Amino acid sequence: MSAHVRRRGGPRAVWTLPVLLAAALAGSLAAPAVAVAEPVTPPRDQLSLLDAAQAWRHSTGAGVTVAVLDSGVDAEHPDLADRVLPGRDYVDGSTDGRADPVGHGTAVASLIAGAGGTGLAPEARILPVRVLDEDNRYERSATVAEGVIWAVEQGAQVINLSLGSPGRSEELSEAIGYAITNDVVVVACAGNASEDGPDVVWYPAREPGVIAVAGLTWSDGDAAHWPRSLAGPETVLSAPAVLVGARPGGGYRRVTGTSFSSALVAASAALVRSRWPEASAGEVVQRLVATARDLGEPGRDPRHGYGALDPVAALTAEVPPVRANPLDTLARHGESRLRSAPWRAERRPDLLPLDGVVEIAGGVPPYRSGTIHTDPSVPDRFRTGQVTPDDSGGAAVVGLAGLALALLLRALLRQQHPGVG
């Protein structure tokens, strides 16, 4: 698959829901988080679906930091020992991210970097950023945005977002733009279908430049679309959605959801970044997309994107280089409303603004092209009109009218999304 550059135009879907949303979590555990899940045996061969043993001949993810924005990570689980860095807690500041009252983040992290056959990139490091509360929700999209920016500033090379909601957030869009312009690969789940939820790919997976991951299951040895996976024109890749992951306190549990599909793609990005440390984030994205195994209709399709994740091909195939993220139809390769991360000039001094939009042959949805220009009125630190984070990452100043609206929206959306998807 080749890549070429051309300008695009056309309509772009705009979500008008306010940004203070109560979101449903992307993945679901086999049992409620408050209950004791039935123990399962260690997943010794589940990664054979991705031919992990062959992939590890080329890369194990060493030297790459993957930020996991989730419910926290149990750093004491044997499979994650010495793999979890001190992180940050944007929920209540009670931890440094290395504790998980829910279990979702621990399962996600184990699929990325767990030992014992759990993780696809077993020598990668996990940077835990807690943004989900004990109910598996984030009440403010700005909370996730703050976590994204903090992860970029700590030098994360890959960010995994196994979360989302139907509504778009301007704060989160700016934060993801900050990550993309600072050479970070951003991966997010497409979301899980619910009876009363809209049938659209969740945000932030819909954000241009993000790898939106749908779920797969296996039947008689063949990969097929996981029935509960959301999908749409924004779908980029597909990966297994029925797996076994680590559980807090030790042991394992069965997990299902596109949250865990996303984790495997994030792990594959870590493998590629480890093998080619000088490769840009755009080149990593290009490798993952160009080497995907085609499923369904020829080329890109709404259910599978460009196809099934193939880590071995991503690590071995000859792929033409690109100058920018081929999914970034906003052409924000060199500029952002937010300042560059402190390490950016040292890591990627060759990253320069690029006019136009890079498109992978086969079709990218017709988003409006353009460039996000630097705005000198935006302070160095991320700020919005409604939320002003301080250096501790905890305080926020919200007007009474905005707070009342947020509480109303929270009540309404909790009726639509009562819990874990």
| CA gap 393, 158 in Å, rounded | 21
Point out the catalytic residue in the list 141, 229, 259, 340: 259
- Return the bridge partners of 222, or none: 219
Report the distance separating Cα 126 and Cα 156, nearest Å. Answer: 9
Tokens of 111: 């699929």
Identify whether the C-beta of residue 145 lies closer than 8 Å to the C-beta of residue 172: yes
d(CA 172, CA 189): 15
Q: Length of the chain in residues, anyone?
A: 421
Give the H or E element holding residue 262: helix 258-275
Query: C-alpha 3: how far from its chain's center?
Result: 23
Alpha helices in 19-66 (DSSP H): 52-55
Pairing between β-strand 65-70 and β-strand 3-6 as defined by DSSP bridges = unpaired
Q: Which of 59, 74, 79, 104 is catalytic?
A: 104
> Does residue 70 carry a catalytic annotation?
yes
Find out whether 271 and 59 touch, Cβ atoms under 8 Å: yes
Q: For this structure, is 141 an active site residue? A: no
Tokens linked to 287: 């490798």
252-257 and 242-246 beta bridge pairing: antiparallel
Asked if 259 is an active-site residue, the reply is yes
Please give the DSSP secondary-structure letter assigned to residue 78.
G
Instruction: Kindly write down the DSSP assignment for every residue of 38-75, as one continuous string.
Output: PP----SSGGGGGTHHHHTTT---TT-EEEEEES---T
Q: How far is CA 270 from CA 18, 79, 123, 264, in A?
A: 34, 18, 9, 10
Measured between alpha carbons, how far is residue 242 from residues 142, 189, 224 in Å?
30, 14, 12
CA distance linking residue 338 with residue 379, whole number of Å: 8
Q: Which of 342, 332, 370, 382 has its CA nearest to residue 180? A: 332
Contact 226, 235 (CB under 8 A): no
> Which of the following is catalytic: 70, 301, 310, 328?
70
- Max alpha carbon distance in the chain (Å)? 58
- The residues annotated with a catalytic role in the active site are 70, 104, 259
